[in-house]
Amino acid sequence: MKGIVFTEFLEMVEAKFGYEMVDKIISSSELSNDGAYTATGTYPHHELLQLLNELSNASDTEKSVLLHSFGTYMFVTFKNGYPGFFEGFEHGFEFLKSVDAHIHKEVLKLYPDAKLPSFETRGDGNEMRMTYRSYRKMADFAHGLIEASMSHFGHEHQVSKKVLVQDGSEVEFHIVIEV
């Protein structure tokens, strides 16, 4: 998993819970590099899961809630870091369709070792279904990113989630714009 995911995760933990919490979850996890991540490096995905577990225990917050918040937080990072990917869209659904069709493909050119989820979208008008597939099972992170995207494009929205494969590797989001 790319280092930017780790550096942003720890930054979010610091912003929401304070530096002591960052210190606490790093020292209670078994990390290969003592939590010294760089944005362009690549690190084992299980280290993120460990940090998430430790944060969930220490803050008494469900992992799904933390991952969703992390998605919302990461949206701002992407928006500031890659403004070009957000330009030229009138509608949030067009942007969401471009994640699989364009954005993540460009990400792969920049970072050939990135492991990205796949998204399948259908429907238009005021409703869209977006199916997430990834062995990393980070659908709640996607959920936060989807909601932040809809807000960014000015849509009042409801997003519901249906688990298609029990282990969380396949999840369908139903996004409805309230008019």
Q: Taking CB under 6 A as the rule, does residue 145 contact ligand HEM?
A: yes
Backbone phi, psi, residue 90, to 5°: -90, -25
Please give the angle made by the CA atoms of 26, 168 and 75, to the nearest 5 degrees: 60
Structure tokens at 94: 């067009």
- List the one residue from 26, 114, 176, 177 that touches ligand HEM (CB under 6 A): 114
Residue 158: how many other CB atoms lie within 10 Å: 11
**Only segment of 13-21, 28-36, 60-68, 138-146 that touches ligand HEM (CB under 6 A):** 138-146
Q: Which is nearer to ligand HEM, 73 or 78 (CB)?
A: 78
Query: What is the pattern of x (binds ligand HEM, CB under 6 A) and - over residues 79-108?
Result: ---x--x----------x--x---xx--x-
Q: Taking CB under 6 A as the rule, does residue 70 contact ligand HEM?
A: no
DSSP 100: I
Structure tokens at 66: 């933390």
Q: Taking CB under 6 A as the rule, does residue 67 contact ligand HEM?
A: no
Helix (H/G/I), strand (E/B), else coil: 52: helix
Alpha carbon distance 55, 43 (integer Å) = 19
Positions that interact with ligand HEM (CB under 6 A): 1-2, 4-5, 78, 82, 85, 96, 99, 103-104, 107, 114-117, 134, 136, 138, 141-142, 145-146, 149
